[in-house]
Amino acid sequence: MDSLLNVDILLPMLVGLPLIAAILTTLAKGHGLRASISIAVALIQLIIVVALLSWLSNGGTSLEAQHQRYSLGGWGAPLGIDLTIDGFSALMLALTATLTLVLTVYSRYYFFEPHAQLDKTARFWPLWWLLIVGINGLFLSGDIFNIYVTLEIIGLAAVALVALDGSRAALTAALRYLLVGLLGSLCYLLAVALLYRTYGTLDLAQLSVIAEPTAITWAALALITTGLLLKTALVPLHFWLPLAHGSAPAPVSAILSALVVKTSFYLLARFWLDALAPASTDYGLIMLGILGAAAIFWGSIQALRATRLKLMVAYSTVAQLGYLFLLFPLVLSTGDTRDAGLTGPAVSAIAYFIVAHACAKAAMFLVAGNIMRTFGHDDIARLHGLAKYMPLSLFTFAIAGASLIGLPPSAGFISKWLLLNVAIDAAQWWWVIIILSGGLMAAMYVFRVLNIAFISVDEKAQIEPKHLPTNKLPTIMPLCAFFLAMLTIALGFNAELILDLVTIGDDV
Amino acid sequence: MSQDLLYIIASIGLFGIGLYGLIVAPHIIRKILAINIMSIGVFMLLVASASTVNGTPDPVLHAMVLTGIVVAIAGTALALFLAGKIHTLGQASDKDGH
């Protein structure tokens, strides 16, 4: 293995590089320069992740440790902070790098307006990169306190990005998001304090070995779960999400729905199935699954009732997040060895689901942003003629929608099919009904938009001229959304790619 | 050990008082204060846990509290800024309305 593929450099670079980008974009003058720096950094980040993946799939498996580790500053656990990587987190990093690149390119055009408020675009880039620092850091952290820090970096950067719009609605949504985020982090930090008091370590891997099913561990797990459920916005703690995701600028909404909520889900999976697995009870796992099922129904109903497109897409996120929580009851009898970390058929299915949803949802939010730019509003009832004025955007929306519904050959189809298989193998047929009816409800809200979009303007003579599109978009903006939607199709045809990646740890 | 217990009860109490305030208090400044009381509860638990049998305190916990304080300051500052901005915007729109 040559020095370029040395994991010792690659892991810290994934945190350091976006941090450097945040500093550079703060110092740089002019939107063009800041955007060029960002696109370059996003490209390098993607290359690093690809190198890391090839290292993991070639040499990584032959190492004796399942978790690949890097000790920052040469200080190992328990005193130092370890960066670790396994199949699941590698997949999340790859997803982050891909979405970062597409969304960075999109943002270059989204925030470029000759007469736009200059300070808004100047503030966007450093915050954007800080958010990426937090996300990458979180997926790489092998230390529960370091995870707290990355959670806060993500939270603060995300709140500032939501508030970027400057309108009263956006600021109110941002403030609520901030208070919820801080509450969630404090619950988490209290759990960290309890765990450190009891076990004397902050290291995830060490915890998974020494954790015992005692009252303190249960209390810590309950606090972690409460805190992270707030941040993941699982029903009934989802109240802050639709407004925050609906008021943010389009690329920010896209990354919030595609990645940020999933960082907390990733941690929940990490704690329940890996680090604190000895303390996780069957009842707790089933309870999380029931909440997930409730989220699927509640989110879909609200998406059906939403009047604004962005709100509809945000409620759809609430519903889709519900599917992720089906992971917890499904590991119960799939034959997964529950203390073996994040591996097994249920985990693979959910990992695939995360990727499929991230691409489809990011594409949808970008389309909503494009529509808002062109029409000046995103009122679903007034989107007549969308098929005529923005055919590519509508096509993108339809493909992303097909993936959310779970129609073949999209990635959404494969992910639901995998989930159904796992549910049937686990002899838990009731989840099958929920998964299928969730898809049906997704079809209802996606087709509702398509239905209106195909009504031509001529048929609706009473439409006022001001409802007709006024702005022309740079071609690259619909193309970015289209690329993400195409990605869901491409992943549908190449499912093994993702599934092989998640199972990297299994061969050891 | 009873001293340790006292700190634990006090910090859980502070956390609870803060949580109650966050949910019940109507005014945004009170909510922000409540969050701070909660974080003080957590910090106190961390500091209290640093005492060891041989008398030398555990530095890891002190480092954690310091980091936590920095995070709490950043969060509070952002919350106060947003609350102030919302208040100003609200006043401006009230003037427009009259």
CATH assignment at residue B76 = 1.10.287.3510
A217 and A350, same domain (yes or no) = no
CA distance B35 to chain A (A): 7
Residue from B47, B49, B61, B82 whose CB has the most chain A CBs within 10 Å, to mutate: B82
Higher pLDDT among residues A72 and A117, named by residue: A72
User: Looking at residue A384, what is its pLDDT?
Assistant: 81
A366 and A452, same domain (yes or no) = yes
A241 and A296, same domain (yes or no) = no
Q: Which residues constitute the domain of residue A103?
A: 1-140
User: Looking at residue A335, what is its pLDDT?
Assistant: 54
Please tell me which of the candidates B19, B45, B89 has its beta carbon nearest to residue A171.
B89
A178 and A129, same domain (yes or no) = no
Q: Which residues of A make CB contacts under 8 Å with B?
A: 79, 145, 148-149, 152, 155-156, 159-160, 163, 168, 171-172, 174-175, 178-179, 182-183, 185-186, 189-190, 192-194, 196-197, 202
Confidence of residue A455 (pLDDT cuts 50, 70, 90): confident
A14 and A109, same domain (yes or no) = yes
Quick: pLDDT tens for A47-69. 999 988 888 877 654 343 444 67
The mean pLDDT value for A188-208 works out to 91
A265 and A312, same domain (yes or no) = no
Give the burial class of A194: count Cβ atoms within 10 A of its Cβ; 0-12 exposed, 13-18 middle, 19 or more buried: buried
pLDDT at B79 over 80: yes
Nearest residue of chain A to residue B84 (CA atoms): A171
Q: Which among A4, A7, A40 has a CA at the least distance from the CA of A21?
A: A40
Domain boundary among A140, A163, A186: A140
Asked if residue A365 is part of any domain, the answer here is yes
The mean pLDDT value for A24-53 works out to 92
The token duo for A262 is 């999933």
Number of domains in chain B: 1
A11 and A126, same domain (yes or no) = yes
User: Looking at residue A454, what is its pLDDT?
Assistant: 85
Element (H, E) at A258: none
The answer, for B79 touching chain A at a CB cutoff of 8 Å, is yes
Asked if residue A147 is part of any domain, the answer here is no
A386 and A458, same domain (yes or no) = yes
Cβ distance of B82 and A179 shorter than 8 Å = no
pLDDT at A197 over 60: yes
Asked if residue A329 is part of any domain, the answer here is yes
Q: Which among A353, A293, A301, A354 has a CA at the least distance from the CA of A326?
A: A293
Quick: pLDDT tens for A227-282. 999 999 998 899 999 999 999 999 999 999 999 999 999 999 999 998 898 888 88
Cβ distance of B46 and A149 shorter than 8 Å = no
A95 and A211, same domain (yes or no) = no
The answer, for B74 touching chain A at a CB cutoff of 8 Å, is yes
Q: How many other CB atoms sit within 10 Å of the CB of residue A488?
A: 29
Asked if residue A145 is part of any domain, the answer here is no
pLDDT at B97 over 60: no
pLDDT at A508 over 50: no
Nearest residue of chain B to residue A170 (CA atoms): B86
A254 and A313, same domain (yes or no) = no
Which residues on chain B are in Cβ contact (under 8 Å) with A156?
A: 74-75, 78
Which residues on chain B are in Cβ contact (under 8 Å) with A152?
A: 71, 74-75
Confidence of residue A118 (pLDDT cuts 50, 70, 90): low
User: Looking at residue A315, what is its pLDDT?
Assistant: 95
A-B Cβ pairs (cutoff 8 Å, strict): 77
Q: Which among A279, A281, A141 has a CA at the least distance from the CA of A211?
A: A279
The complex's ipTM? 0.94
A232 and A308, same domain (yes or no) = no
Average pLDDT over all residues of chain A:
87
Does residue A187 contact residue A230 with C-beta atoms inside 8 Å?
yes
What is the distance, to the nearest Å, from the Cα of residue A278 to the centroid of all Cα atoms in its chain?
Answer: 27
A79 and A11, same domain (yes or no) = yes
Domain boundary among A96, A111, A140: A140
Q: Which residues constitute the domain of residue B48?
A: 3-97
Residue type at position A109: Y
CA distance B84 to chain A (A): 10
